[in-house]
Chains A and B, each alone.
Chain A
Amino acid sequence: MGAGREFAKGLWSENPIFRVVLGLCPTLAVTTSAQNGVGMGIAATFVLLCSNVIISVLRSFIPRKIRIPAYIVIIATFVTVVDLVMNAYFNPLHKALGIFIPLIVVNCIIMGRAEAFASKNGVLYSLLDGLGMGIGFTISLVAIASIRELLGNGTIFGAAVMGSSYVPFMLLILPPGAFILLGTMLGAMNRVEIALARRAGRAPSIRKEHDCASCAIFAGWSNAADKIKALEEAGR
Protein backbone atom coordinates (compact mmCIF):
# COMPACT_ATOMS: atom_id res chain seq x y z
CA MET A 1 0.00 0.00 0.00
CA GLY A 2 1.20 3.49 -0.78
CA ALA A 3 2.00 6.14 1.80
CA GLY A 4 -0.92 8.27 0.65
CA ARG A 5 -3.42 5.49 1.25
CA GLU A 6 -2.04 4.79 4.73
CA PHE A 7 -2.76 8.41 5.57
CA ALA A 8 -6.13 8.65 3.84
CA LYS A 9 -7.72 5.48 5.19
CA GLY A 10 -8.31 7.07 8.60
CA LEU A 11 -10.35 9.84 7.01
CA TRP A 12 -13.06 7.70 5.47
CA SER A 13 -12.66 3.98 4.75
CA GLU A 14 -11.34 3.13 8.23
CA ASN A 15 -12.58 6.21 10.06
CA PRO A 16 -12.16 5.35 13.76
CA ILE A 17 -15.60 6.58 14.86
CA PHE A 18 -17.92 6.11 11.90
CA ARG A 19 -16.42 3.00 10.30
CA VAL A 20 -14.60 1.08 13.01
CA VAL A 21 -16.74 2.50 15.87
CA LEU A 22 -13.92 2.83 18.40
CA GLY A 23 -13.22 5.48 21.04
CA LEU A 24 -16.89 6.09 21.78
CA CYS A 25 -16.32 7.14 25.40
CA PRO A 26 -14.74 10.54 24.58
CA THR A 27 -16.93 10.78 21.47
CA LEU A 28 -20.12 10.69 23.51
CA ALA A 29 -18.86 12.52 26.56
CA VAL A 30 -16.94 15.60 25.41
CA THR A 31 -18.73 16.57 22.20
CA THR A 32 -21.03 19.09 23.87
CA SER A 33 -19.31 21.98 22.06
CA ALA A 34 -17.25 22.26 18.88
CA GLN A 35 -14.35 23.70 20.86
CA ASN A 36 -14.24 20.63 23.10
CA GLY A 37 -14.27 18.44 20.00
CA VAL A 38 -11.27 20.22 18.50
CA GLY A 39 -9.37 20.09 21.82
CA MET A 40 -10.03 16.41 22.37
CA GLY A 41 -9.19 15.62 18.74
CA ILE A 42 -5.86 17.44 18.77
CA ALA A 43 -4.85 15.92 22.11
CA ALA A 44 -5.64 12.39 20.89
CA THR A 45 -3.95 13.01 17.53
CA PHE A 46 -0.73 14.12 19.24
CA VAL A 47 -0.68 11.05 21.48
CA LEU A 48 -1.55 8.74 18.59
CA LEU A 49 1.16 10.16 16.35
CA CYS A 50 3.91 10.01 19.01
CA SER A 51 2.96 6.58 20.37
CA ASN A 52 2.72 5.10 16.85
CA VAL A 53 6.21 6.38 15.98
CA ILE A 54 7.85 5.23 19.23
CA ILE A 55 6.14 1.83 19.20
CA SER A 56 7.15 1.34 15.58
CA VAL A 57 10.77 2.20 16.43
CA LEU A 58 10.78 -0.17 19.41
CA ARG A 59 8.72 -2.91 17.80
CA SER A 60 11.56 -5.41 17.59
CA PHE A 61 12.72 -4.74 21.17
CA ILE A 62 9.36 -5.14 22.92
CA PRO A 63 8.87 -8.78 24.00
CA ARG A 64 5.60 -10.09 22.61
CA LYS A 65 4.24 -11.32 25.93
CA ILE A 66 4.41 -7.94 27.68
CA ARG A 67 3.65 -5.76 24.69
CA ILE A 68 0.39 -4.35 26.08
CA PRO A 69 1.96 -3.00 29.32
CA ALA A 70 4.84 -1.63 27.23
CA TYR A 71 2.40 0.15 24.89
CA ILE A 72 0.52 1.59 27.86
CA VAL A 73 3.72 2.99 29.38
CA ILE A 74 4.57 4.70 26.08
CA ILE A 75 1.04 6.02 25.57
CA ALA A 76 0.76 7.18 29.19
CA THR A 77 3.98 9.15 28.82
CA PHE A 78 2.58 11.21 25.98
CA VAL A 79 -0.80 11.58 27.68
CA THR A 80 1.00 13.05 30.70
CA VAL A 81 2.75 15.50 28.39
CA VAL A 82 -0.58 16.54 26.85
CA ASP A 83 -2.23 16.76 30.26
CA LEU A 84 0.44 19.06 31.70
CA VAL A 85 0.75 21.24 28.57
CA MET A 86 -3.01 21.73 28.32
CA ASN A 87 -3.26 22.51 32.02
CA ALA A 88 -0.54 25.14 31.66
CA TYR A 89 -1.50 26.83 28.39
CA PHE A 90 -5.15 25.96 27.71
CA ASN A 91 -6.54 25.87 31.21
CA PRO A 92 -10.28 26.47 30.45
CA LEU A 93 -10.24 23.71 27.80
CA HIS A 94 -8.39 21.42 30.20
CA LYS A 95 -11.09 22.02 32.80
CA ALA A 96 -13.88 21.37 30.27
CA LEU A 97 -12.38 18.06 29.11
CA GLY A 98 -11.55 17.05 32.70
CA ILE A 99 -11.06 13.34 33.32
CA PHE A 100 -11.23 12.55 29.59
CA ILE A 101 -7.68 13.83 29.04
CA PRO A 102 -6.05 11.23 31.36
CA LEU A 103 -8.45 8.65 29.94
CA ILE A 104 -6.79 8.98 26.51
CA VAL A 105 -4.37 6.37 27.92
CA VAL A 106 -7.02 3.69 27.52
CA ASN A 107 -8.51 5.07 24.29
CA CYS A 108 -9.25 2.05 22.08
CA ILE A 109 -8.17 3.85 18.92
CA ILE A 110 -4.64 4.45 20.21
CA MET A 111 -4.25 0.94 21.64
CA GLY A 112 -5.79 -0.45 18.48
CA ARG A 113 -3.40 1.32 16.11
CA ALA A 114 -0.43 0.30 18.29
CA GLU A 115 -1.45 -3.34 18.26
CA ALA A 116 -2.77 -3.58 14.71
CA PHE A 117 -0.43 -1.28 12.83
CA ALA A 118 2.57 0.31 14.55
CA SER A 119 3.84 -2.99 15.95
CA LYS A 120 4.02 -4.42 12.41
CA ASN A 121 4.99 -1.50 10.19
CA GLY A 122 7.86 0.90 9.64
CA VAL A 123 8.22 4.36 11.16
CA LEU A 124 7.05 6.39 8.14
CA TYR A 125 3.90 4.35 7.59
CA SER A 126 3.12 4.32 11.33
CA LEU A 127 3.48 8.08 11.43
CA LEU A 128 1.15 8.53 8.46
CA ASP A 129 -1.30 6.00 9.91
CA GLY A 130 -1.36 7.81 13.26
CA LEU A 131 -1.76 11.21 11.61
CA GLY A 132 -4.59 10.03 9.34
CA MET A 133 -6.44 8.25 12.13
CA GLY A 134 -6.00 11.26 14.42
CA ILE A 135 -7.30 13.71 11.82
CA GLY A 136 -10.19 11.38 10.99
CA PHE A 137 -11.02 11.19 14.71
CA THR A 138 -10.81 14.98 15.06
CA ILE A 139 -13.02 15.66 12.04
CA SER A 140 -15.62 13.18 13.31
CA LEU A 141 -15.58 14.69 16.80
CA VAL A 142 -15.99 18.22 15.44
CA ALA A 143 -18.82 17.09 13.16
CA ILE A 144 -20.76 15.52 16.05
CA ALA A 145 -19.92 18.38 18.43
CA SER A 146 -20.96 21.05 15.93
CA ILE A 147 -24.39 19.51 15.42
CA ARG A 148 -24.87 19.09 19.17
CA GLU A 149 -23.78 22.65 19.91
CA LEU A 150 -25.75 24.15 17.03
CA LEU A 151 -29.09 22.50 17.86
CA GLY A 152 -28.62 22.12 21.60
CA ASN A 153 -27.28 25.58 22.34
CA GLY A 154 -27.84 27.60 19.16
CA THR A 155 -24.12 28.40 18.80
CA ILE A 156 -21.03 27.20 16.90
CA PHE A 157 -17.64 27.70 18.55
CA GLY A 158 -19.49 29.91 21.03
CA ALA A 159 -20.90 32.27 18.37
CA ALA A 160 -24.69 32.59 18.26
CA VAL A 161 -25.92 31.64 14.79
CA MET A 162 -29.52 30.53 15.18
CA GLY A 163 -31.16 33.90 15.85
CA SER A 164 -32.82 35.12 19.02
CA SER A 165 -36.14 33.35 18.45
CA TYR A 166 -34.51 29.89 18.41
CA VAL A 167 -35.38 27.75 21.42
CA PRO A 168 -32.36 25.49 22.15
CA PHE A 169 -33.11 21.77 21.87
CA MET A 170 -31.34 20.93 25.11
CA LEU A 171 -31.68 17.18 24.69
CA LEU A 172 -28.73 17.12 22.28
CA ILE A 173 -26.39 18.60 24.89
CA LEU A 174 -27.41 15.86 27.35
CA PRO A 175 -26.06 12.27 27.23
CA PRO A 176 -29.14 10.66 25.59
CA GLY A 177 -28.90 13.20 22.78
CA ALA A 178 -25.30 12.10 22.14
CA PHE A 179 -26.38 8.47 21.72
CA ILE A 180 -29.34 9.30 19.48
CA LEU A 181 -27.24 11.60 17.28
CA LEU A 182 -24.31 9.19 16.98
CA GLY A 183 -26.64 6.35 16.02
CA THR A 184 -28.39 8.50 13.44
CA MET A 185 -25.06 9.62 11.96
CA LEU A 186 -23.75 6.04 11.82
CA GLY A 187 -26.89 5.04 9.92
CA ALA A 188 -26.54 7.98 7.54
CA MET A 189 -22.85 7.15 6.93
CA ASN A 190 -23.81 3.58 6.05
CA ARG A 191 -26.33 4.89 3.52
CA VAL A 192 -23.65 7.08 1.96
CA GLU A 193 -21.18 4.18 1.86
CA ILE A 194 -23.75 1.92 0.19
CA ALA A 195 -24.47 4.59 -2.44
CA LEU A 196 -20.75 5.18 -3.07
CA ALA A 197 -20.06 1.46 -3.33
CA ARG A 198 -22.88 0.95 -5.79
CA ARG A 199 -21.61 3.75 -7.99
CA ALA A 200 -18.08 2.31 -7.90
CA GLY A 201 -19.42 -1.21 -8.48
CA ARG A 202 -17.87 -2.73 -5.34
CA ALA A 203 -19.27 -4.31 -2.19
CA PRO A 204 -19.93 -1.77 0.60
CA SER A 205 -17.40 -1.98 3.43
CA ILE A 206 -19.79 -2.20 6.34
CA ARG A 207 -19.01 -4.51 9.22
CA LYS A 208 -21.48 -7.32 9.58
CA GLU A 209 -22.62 -6.20 13.03
CA HIS A 210 -23.38 -2.69 11.75
CA ASP A 211 -25.41 -3.99 8.85
CA CYS A 212 -29.20 -4.09 8.83
CA ALA A 213 -29.23 -7.67 7.56
CA SER A 214 -27.69 -8.94 10.81
CA CYS A 215 -30.29 -7.21 12.99
CA ALA A 216 -32.80 -9.35 14.88
CA ILE A 217 -35.62 -6.99 13.97
CA PHE A 218 -34.82 -7.36 10.29
CA ALA A 219 -34.66 -11.15 10.68
CA GLY A 220 -38.11 -11.04 12.26
CA TRP A 221 -39.81 -9.47 9.28
CA SER A 222 -42.66 -11.69 8.37
CA ASN A 223 -42.63 -10.79 4.73
CA ALA A 224 -39.71 -12.54 3.10
CA ALA A 225 -40.24 -10.69 -0.17
CA ASP A 226 -39.58 -7.37 1.57
CA LYS A 227 -36.43 -8.75 3.10
CA ILE A 228 -35.07 -9.90 -0.22
CA LYS A 229 -35.98 -6.60 -1.82
CA ALA A 230 -34.25 -4.67 0.96
CA LEU A 231 -31.17 -6.85 0.63
CA GLU A 232 -31.08 -6.19 -3.08
CA GLU A 233 -31.46 -2.49 -2.46
CA ALA A 234 -28.57 -2.60 -0.03
CA GLY A 235 -26.53 -3.79 -2.97
CA ARG A 236 -25.75 -7.44 -2.35
Chain B
Amino acid sequence: MEERLPDAGPKAPGTKEKTEEPIARFLVSSSPHVHEGIRIRSVMGLVIVALLPASVFSIYLFGLPALFTILVSVASAAGFEWLWQKVVRRPGTAGDLSAVLTGLLLALNLPAGSPWWLILVGNLFAIVVAKQLYGGIGYNIFNPALVGRVVLLVAFPVHMTSRWISPSAWGMDAVTTATPLGRAREALLATGSVDAALTRNEAIDLLIGNRAGSLGEVSVILLLIGGIFLLAKRVITWHAPVAFIGSVWAMAGIFHLANPARFADPSFHVLTGGLFLGAFFMATDYVTTPLAPAGKIVFGIGCGVVTVVIRLFGSYPEGVSFGILLMNAFTPLIDRAFKPAVFGARRAKTA
Protein backbone atom coordinates (compact mmCIF):
# COMPACT_ATOMS: atom_id res chain seq x y z
CA MET B 1 0.00 0.00 0.00
CA GLU B 2 1.44 3.32 -0.97
CA GLU B 3 1.02 6.06 1.59
CA ARG B 4 2.61 9.43 1.55
CA LEU B 5 2.91 11.97 4.30
CA PRO B 6 1.36 15.30 3.43
CA ASP B 7 3.86 17.82 2.13
CA ALA B 8 6.31 15.05 1.34
CA GLY B 9 6.15 15.85 -2.34
CA PRO B 10 4.30 17.81 -4.94
CA LYS B 11 0.57 17.31 -4.77
CA ALA B 12 -1.14 15.57 -7.60
CA PRO B 13 -3.04 18.03 -9.76
CA GLY B 14 -6.63 18.49 -8.75
CA THR B 15 -6.16 17.27 -5.16
CA LYS B 16 -8.40 19.05 -2.76
CA GLU B 17 -6.70 20.94 0.05
CA LYS B 18 -7.10 18.93 3.25
CA THR B 19 -8.84 20.66 6.12
CA GLU B 20 -8.35 18.00 8.79
CA GLU B 21 -7.07 18.39 12.31
CA PRO B 22 -3.26 18.52 12.35
CA ILE B 23 -3.00 15.25 14.30
CA ALA B 24 -4.85 13.39 11.55
CA ARG B 25 -2.06 14.19 9.13
CA PHE B 26 0.39 11.87 10.86
CA LEU B 27 0.67 8.39 9.50
CA VAL B 28 -0.54 5.92 12.12
CA SER B 29 0.44 2.29 11.66
CA SER B 30 0.78 -0.76 13.85
CA SER B 31 4.10 -2.35 14.75
CA PRO B 32 6.63 -3.45 13.55
CA HIS B 33 8.01 -0.03 12.67
CA VAL B 34 11.57 -1.09 11.88
CA HIS B 35 12.25 -3.58 9.13
CA GLU B 36 15.41 -5.50 8.45
CA GLY B 37 14.68 -5.73 4.77
CA ILE B 38 14.16 -9.51 4.91
CA ARG B 39 11.36 -10.60 2.66
CA ILE B 40 9.25 -13.75 2.86
CA ARG B 41 10.48 -14.51 -0.62
CA SER B 42 14.16 -14.54 0.35
CA VAL B 43 13.60 -16.75 3.43
CA MET B 44 11.51 -19.20 1.42
CA GLY B 45 14.16 -19.16 -1.30
CA LEU B 46 16.89 -20.13 1.20
CA VAL B 47 14.80 -23.02 2.56
CA ILE B 48 14.17 -24.26 -0.99
CA VAL B 49 17.92 -24.08 -1.70
CA ALA B 50 18.56 -26.06 1.49
CA LEU B 51 16.18 -28.76 0.30
CA LEU B 52 17.70 -28.99 -3.17
CA PRO B 53 20.51 -31.51 -2.38
CA ALA B 54 18.03 -34.00 -0.92
CA SER B 55 15.57 -33.38 -3.77
CA VAL B 56 18.18 -33.89 -6.48
CA PHE B 57 19.47 -37.02 -4.73
CA SER B 58 15.94 -38.42 -4.59
CA ILE B 59 15.68 -37.96 -8.36
CA TYR B 60 19.01 -39.79 -8.75
CA LEU B 61 17.75 -42.61 -6.48
CA PHE B 62 14.21 -43.05 -7.74
CA GLY B 63 14.54 -41.67 -11.24
CA LEU B 64 11.90 -39.99 -13.37
CA PRO B 65 8.95 -40.85 -11.08
CA ALA B 66 10.58 -38.72 -8.38
CA LEU B 67 11.12 -35.83 -10.80
CA PHE B 68 7.49 -36.14 -11.89
CA THR B 69 6.27 -36.07 -8.27
CA ILE B 70 8.30 -32.97 -7.42
CA LEU B 71 7.32 -31.04 -10.57
CA VAL B 72 3.60 -31.84 -10.31
CA SER B 73 3.55 -31.01 -6.61
CA VAL B 74 5.33 -27.65 -6.90
CA ALA B 75 3.29 -26.64 -9.95
CA SER B 76 -0.04 -27.58 -8.37
CA ALA B 77 0.77 -25.84 -5.07
CA ALA B 78 1.65 -22.61 -6.86
CA GLY B 79 -1.35 -23.07 -9.13
CA PHE B 80 -3.83 -23.47 -6.26
CA GLU B 81 -2.38 -20.43 -4.51
CA TRP B 82 -2.75 -18.34 -7.68
CA LEU B 83 -6.25 -19.68 -8.37
CA TRP B 84 -7.41 -18.98 -4.81
CA GLN B 85 -6.34 -15.37 -5.09
CA LYS B 86 -8.14 -14.99 -8.40
CA VAL B 87 -11.32 -16.50 -6.94
CA VAL B 88 -11.47 -14.47 -3.70
CA ARG B 89 -9.84 -11.40 -5.26
CA ARG B 90 -7.33 -10.87 -2.48
CA PRO B 91 -3.91 -9.26 -2.93
CA GLY B 92 -1.43 -11.78 -4.24
CA THR B 93 1.06 -13.78 -2.23
CA ALA B 94 1.62 -16.31 -5.02
CA GLY B 95 4.95 -14.68 -5.81
CA ASP B 96 6.46 -15.08 -2.32
CA LEU B 97 7.58 -18.68 -2.96
CA SER B 98 5.81 -19.97 0.16
CA ALA B 99 3.46 -22.09 -1.96
CA VAL B 100 6.41 -23.41 -3.95
CA LEU B 101 8.06 -24.47 -0.68
CA THR B 102 4.86 -26.12 0.51
CA GLY B 103 4.63 -28.03 -2.76
CA LEU B 104 8.26 -29.13 -2.53
CA LEU B 105 7.90 -30.23 1.11
CA LEU B 106 4.75 -32.19 0.29
CA ALA B 107 6.51 -33.87 -2.64
CA LEU B 108 9.35 -34.88 -0.32
CA ASN B 109 6.71 -36.48 1.93
CA LEU B 110 5.29 -38.64 -0.87
CA PRO B 111 6.41 -41.96 -2.31
CA ALA B 112 8.13 -41.72 -5.70
CA GLY B 113 5.71 -42.43 -8.51
CA SER B 114 2.63 -41.16 -6.73
CA PRO B 115 -0.24 -40.77 -9.21
CA TRP B 116 -0.94 -37.19 -10.36
CA TRP B 117 -4.40 -37.01 -8.74
CA LEU B 118 -2.96 -37.98 -5.37
CA ILE B 119 -0.47 -35.08 -5.56
CA LEU B 120 -3.23 -32.68 -6.66
CA VAL B 121 -5.57 -33.63 -3.80
CA GLY B 122 -2.71 -33.29 -1.31
CA ASN B 123 -1.82 -29.80 -2.53
CA LEU B 124 -5.47 -28.75 -2.66
CA PHE B 125 -5.77 -29.52 1.05
CA ALA B 126 -2.34 -28.08 1.86
CA ILE B 127 -2.85 -24.73 0.10
CA VAL B 128 -6.61 -24.14 0.11
CA VAL B 129 -7.84 -25.87 3.30
CA ALA B 130 -4.83 -25.72 5.63
CA LYS B 131 -3.48 -22.32 4.55
CA GLN B 132 -5.93 -20.08 2.71
CA LEU B 133 -9.13 -20.98 4.56
CA TYR B 134 -7.35 -20.06 7.79
CA GLY B 135 -6.51 -16.66 6.32
CA GLY B 136 -3.39 -17.25 4.24
CA ILE B 137 0.29 -17.03 5.09
CA GLY B 138 0.90 -16.07 8.71
CA TYR B 139 -2.52 -17.19 9.93
CA ASN B 140 -2.43 -20.94 9.41
CA ILE B 141 -2.38 -23.00 12.61
CA PHE B 142 -1.04 -26.19 11.05
CA ASN B 143 1.88 -26.79 8.74
CA PRO B 144 0.23 -26.87 5.27
CA ALA B 145 2.50 -29.51 3.74
CA LEU B 146 1.96 -31.85 6.69
CA VAL B 147 -1.82 -31.36 6.56
CA GLY B 148 -1.61 -32.35 2.89
CA ARG B 149 0.40 -35.44 3.76
CA VAL B 150 -1.84 -36.53 6.64
CA VAL B 151 -5.00 -36.02 4.56
CA LEU B 152 -3.52 -38.32 1.92
CA LEU B 153 -2.34 -40.81 4.55
CA VAL B 154 -5.82 -41.03 6.08
CA ALA B 155 -7.74 -40.92 2.79
CA PHE B 156 -5.53 -43.15 0.61
CA PRO B 157 -3.62 -45.45 2.97
CA VAL B 158 -2.85 -47.97 0.23
CA HIS B 159 -1.14 -45.43 -2.02
CA MET B 160 0.69 -43.78 0.85
CA THR B 161 2.06 -46.73 2.80
CA SER B 162 2.46 -49.79 0.61
CA ARG B 163 3.81 -48.58 -2.73
CA TRP B 164 7.36 -47.66 -1.82
CA ILE B 165 9.91 -48.13 -4.57
CA SER B 166 13.30 -49.50 -3.62
CA PRO B 167 16.09 -47.26 -4.85
CA SER B 168 17.64 -48.09 -8.21
CA ALA B 169 19.21 -45.39 -10.28
CA TRP B 170 16.71 -43.91 -12.74
CA GLY B 171 14.01 -46.22 -11.50
CA MET B 172 14.55 -48.82 -14.21
CA ASP B 173 13.91 -51.97 -12.26
CA ALA B 174 11.75 -50.45 -9.58
CA VAL B 175 10.26 -53.00 -7.21
CA THR B 176 7.88 -52.16 -4.43
CA THR B 177 9.17 -52.78 -0.95
CA ALA B 178 8.60 -51.63 2.62
CA THR B 179 10.37 -48.78 4.40
CA PRO B 180 12.77 -49.67 7.23
CA LEU B 181 10.20 -48.58 9.82
CA GLY B 182 7.51 -50.56 8.02
CA ARG B 183 9.74 -53.64 7.95
CA ALA B 184 10.55 -53.26 11.64
CA ARG B 185 6.83 -53.20 12.41
CA GLU B 186 6.08 -56.20 10.20
CA ALA B 187 8.87 -58.23 11.80
CA LEU B 188 7.66 -57.22 15.23
CA LEU B 189 4.12 -58.34 14.44
CA ALA B 190 5.32 -61.60 12.88
CA THR B 191 8.02 -62.71 15.29
CA GLY B 192 7.65 -60.49 18.33
CA SER B 193 11.16 -59.11 17.82
CA VAL B 194 12.67 -56.33 15.73
CA ASP B 195 16.16 -57.77 15.25
CA ALA B 196 15.44 -59.53 11.97
CA ALA B 197 14.52 -56.27 10.32
CA LEU B 198 17.45 -54.36 11.77
CA THR B 199 20.18 -56.62 10.51
CA ARG B 200 19.15 -55.84 6.96
CA ASN B 201 19.78 -52.15 7.44
CA GLU B 202 23.34 -51.03 7.84
CA ALA B 203 23.63 -47.64 9.52
CA ILE B 204 25.72 -46.37 6.62
CA ASP B 205 22.93 -47.21 4.17
CA LEU B 206 20.50 -45.26 6.28
CA LEU B 207 22.86 -42.30 6.43
CA ILE B 208 23.47 -41.94 2.71
CA GLY B 209 19.95 -42.92 1.82
CA ASN B 210 20.15 -46.30 0.15
CA ARG B 211 16.70 -47.39 1.25
CA ALA B 212 13.03 -47.19 0.41
CA GLY B 213 10.97 -44.27 1.61
CA SER B 214 9.30 -41.06 0.63
CA LEU B 215 11.41 -38.75 -1.53
CA GLY B 216 12.75 -36.56 1.23
CA GLU B 217 13.34 -39.06 3.99
CA VAL B 218 15.96 -41.20 2.34
CA SER B 219 19.15 -39.21 2.72
CA VAL B 220 19.89 -38.15 6.28
CA ILE B 221 23.27 -36.61 5.42
CA LEU B 222 21.94 -34.34 2.67
CA LEU B 223 19.05 -33.20 4.89
CA LEU B 224 21.55 -32.48 7.65
CA ILE B 225 23.67 -30.43 5.23
CA GLY B 226 20.57 -28.45 4.27
CA GLY B 227 19.71 -27.94 7.94
CA ILE B 228 23.22 -26.72 8.80
CA PHE B 229 23.05 -24.35 5.83
CA LEU B 230 19.84 -22.85 7.23
CA LEU B 231 21.43 -22.61 10.70
CA ALA B 232 24.47 -20.86 9.24
CA LYS B 233 22.23 -18.44 7.33
CA ARG B 234 20.29 -17.83 10.57
CA VAL B 235 17.05 -18.77 8.91
CA ILE B 236 16.35 -21.27 11.70
CA THR B 237 17.67 -21.77 15.22
CA TRP B 238 19.01 -25.00 16.69
CA HIS B 239 16.46 -25.32 19.50
CA ALA B 240 13.57 -27.21 17.93
CA PRO B 241 15.58 -29.62 15.72
CA VAL B 242 18.02 -30.54 18.52
CA ALA B 243 15.22 -30.99 21.07
CA PHE B 244 13.20 -33.02 18.56
CA ILE B 245 15.96 -35.39 17.45
CA GLY B 246 17.44 -35.56 20.95
CA SER B 247 14.16 -36.52 22.57
CA VAL B 248 13.50 -39.19 19.94
CA TRP B 249 16.97 -40.62 20.60
CA ALA B 250 16.59 -40.45 24.40
CA MET B 251 13.10 -41.90 24.54
CA ALA B 252 13.81 -44.68 22.02
CA GLY B 253 17.01 -45.38 24.00
CA ILE B 254 15.14 -45.79 27.28
CA PHE B 255 12.72 -48.27 25.72
CA HIS B 256 15.58 -50.08 23.96
CA LEU B 257 17.48 -50.51 27.24
CA ALA B 258 14.34 -51.80 28.94
CA ASN B 259 13.62 -54.40 26.26
CA PRO B 260 16.14 -54.67 23.37
CA ALA B 261 14.20 -57.45 21.62
CA ARG B 262 10.95 -55.52 21.47
CA PHE B 263 12.25 -52.00 20.81
CA ALA B 264 14.78 -51.05 18.13
CA ASP B 265 18.09 -49.31 18.68
CA PRO B 266 17.74 -45.52 19.24
CA SER B 267 20.06 -44.72 16.33
CA PHE B 268 17.72 -46.71 14.06
CA HIS B 269 14.86 -44.47 15.15
CA VAL B 270 16.88 -41.31 14.65
CA LEU B 271 18.08 -42.28 11.16
CA THR B 272 14.84 -43.67 9.74
CA GLY B 273 11.61 -42.09 8.69
CA GLY B 274 11.05 -38.41 8.16
CA LEU B 275 12.70 -37.28 11.38
CA PHE B 276 15.44 -35.10 9.87
CA LEU B 277 13.10 -33.61 7.27
CA GLY B 278 10.54 -32.84 9.96
CA ALA B 279 12.99 -31.60 12.57
CA PHE B 280 14.91 -29.15 10.35
CA PHE B 281 12.30 -28.06 7.82
CA MET B 282 8.90 -28.35 9.50
CA ALA B 283 9.43 -28.01 13.25
CA THR B 284 11.15 -24.70 12.45
CA ASP B 285 8.33 -23.10 10.45
CA TYR B 286 7.89 -19.46 11.56
CA VAL B 287 4.11 -19.46 11.47
CA THR B 288 3.19 -22.70 13.19
CA THR B 289 5.85 -23.10 15.90
CA PRO B 290 6.65 -21.12 19.09
CA LEU B 291 8.65 -17.89 19.01
CA ALA B 292 10.79 -18.03 22.14
CA PRO B 293 13.85 -20.35 22.42
CA ALA B 294 12.44 -22.09 25.52
CA GLY B 295 9.15 -22.58 23.72
CA LYS B 296 10.94 -24.05 20.71
CA ILE B 297 12.65 -26.60 22.98
CA VAL B 298 9.34 -27.59 24.59
CA PHE B 299 7.85 -27.85 21.09
CA GLY B 300 10.68 -30.09 19.89
CA ILE B 301 10.48 -32.39 22.92
CA GLY B 302 6.72 -32.70 22.45
CA CYS B 303 7.21 -33.62 18.79
CA GLY B 304 9.80 -36.24 19.75
CA VAL B 305 7.67 -37.84 22.45
CA VAL B 306 4.59 -38.10 20.21
CA THR B 307 6.71 -39.47 17.35
CA VAL B 308 8.23 -42.24 19.48
CA VAL B 309 4.91 -43.14 21.11
CA ILE B 310 3.25 -43.50 17.69
CA ARG B 311 6.19 -45.44 16.22
CA LEU B 312 6.39 -47.87 19.14
CA PHE B 313 2.76 -48.25 20.18
CA GLY B 314 0.57 -46.67 17.49
CA SER B 315 -1.05 -48.23 14.48
CA TYR B 316 1.04 -46.23 11.98
CA PRO B 317 4.74 -47.07 11.46
CA GLU B 318 5.73 -43.38 11.33
CA GLY B 319 4.73 -40.58 13.70
CA VAL B 320 6.77 -37.51 12.76
CA SER B 321 3.98 -35.73 10.88
CA PHE B 322 1.39 -36.44 13.57
CA GLY B 323 3.88 -35.28 16.23
CA ILE B 324 4.49 -31.94 14.53
CA LEU B 325 0.79 -31.34 13.73
CA LEU B 326 -0.24 -32.11 17.32
CA MET B 327 2.36 -29.72 18.67
CA ASN B 328 1.27 -27.08 16.10
CA ALA B 329 -2.05 -27.08 17.94
CA PHE B 330 -0.23 -26.44 21.24
CA THR B 331 1.88 -23.59 19.84
CA PRO B 332 -0.38 -20.73 21.06
CA LEU B 333 -0.35 -22.23 24.57
CA ILE B 334 3.43 -22.67 24.52
CA ASP B 335 3.83 -19.11 23.27
CA ARG B 336 1.74 -17.88 26.19
CA ALA B 337 3.79 -19.85 28.72
CA PHE B 338 7.21 -18.85 27.33
CA LYS B 339 7.02 -15.23 26.36
CA PRO B 340 10.19 -13.81 24.85
CA ALA B 341 11.69 -10.98 26.90
CA VAL B 342 10.63 -7.55 25.74
CA PHE B 343 13.56 -5.65 24.22
CA GLY B 344 15.19 -3.49 26.88
CA ALA B 345 13.13 -4.89 29.74
CA ARG B 346 14.84 -5.75 33.05
CA ARG B 347 13.74 -8.29 35.54
CA ALA B 348 12.14 -6.59 38.57
CA LYS B 349 14.47 -6.68 41.56
CA THR B 350 13.10 -8.43 44.61
CA ALA B 351 13.83 -6.54 47.78
Contacts and interface: CB of A to CB of B under 8 A. Distances in A.
Q: Do A and B come from one complex?
A: yes
Contacts of B134: 217
Contacts of A226: 90-91
Is chain A's interface secondary structure helix, strand, loop, or mixed overall? Answer: helix
Interface centre among A171, A172, A217 (most CB of B within 10 A): A171
A223 interface: yes
Contacts of B157: 170
A167 B117 CA distance: 10
A167 B154 contact: no
Interface residues of A, number: 17
A171 B135 contact: no
Contacts of A220: 135, 139
B155 A169 contact: yes
Contacts of A233: 89
A144 to B, nearest CB: 17
A180 interface: yes
A223 B91 contact: yes
Interface in B18-36: 30
A213 to B, nearest CB: 14
Contact of A169 (B1, B30, B121, B133): B121
Given A180-B129, A217-B139, A226-B90, A171 B1 contact: no
A171 B129 contact: no
B151 interface: yes
Contact of A223 (B1, B129, B159): B1
Interface string A147-190: 00000000000000000000101111010100010010000000
Interface centre among A167, A170, A180, A226 (most CB of B within 10 A): A167
Interface of B: 1, 30, 89-91, 117, 121, 129, 133-135, 139, 151, 154-157, 159
Given A217-B134, A222-B1, A222-B30, 18 more contacts: A167-B117, A167-B159, A169-B121, A169-B155, A169-B156, A170-B157, A171-B154, A171-B155, A172-B155, A180-B129, A183-B133, A217-B139, A218-B135, A220-B135, A223-B1, A223-B91, A226-B90, A226-B91
Interface of A: 167, 169-172, 174, 176, 180, 183, 217-218, 220, 222-223, 225-226, 233
